[in-house]
Amino acid sequence: MTSKVEEALGYEQARDELIEVVRRLEAGGTTLEESLALWERGEELAKVCRRWLDGARARLDAALAEEAEAEAAQESDGDES
């Protein structure tokens, strides 16, 4: 389930925060509880990024399909002349 805060995050914001979470985890020096909380936040941020990327892919695929249909329609109109 997504929170309102996560829904409000843009791709770049989520990506930048995810980078910071990974940096902190890799640096170490955190307690087990802090590490788990960071890992959970990282998982949430990764899901936000994935939703944005999936949405962008769907929009791109739709635009490409529309363009292909328009080209096919032009070609078939040209064949009838």
pLDDT class for 43, splitting at 50, 70, 90? very high
Residue type, 20: E
User: Which residues 6+ apart lie within 8 Å of 21 measured at CB?
Assistant: 38, 39, 41, 42, 45
Q: Output the pLDDT for position 76.
A: 84
Residue 81 has pLDDT above 60, yes or no: no
11 neighbors 53 (Cβ within 8 angstroms)? yes
Residue type, 5: V
pTM tops 0.95: no
pLDDT, tens only, 51-67: 999 999 999 999 999 99
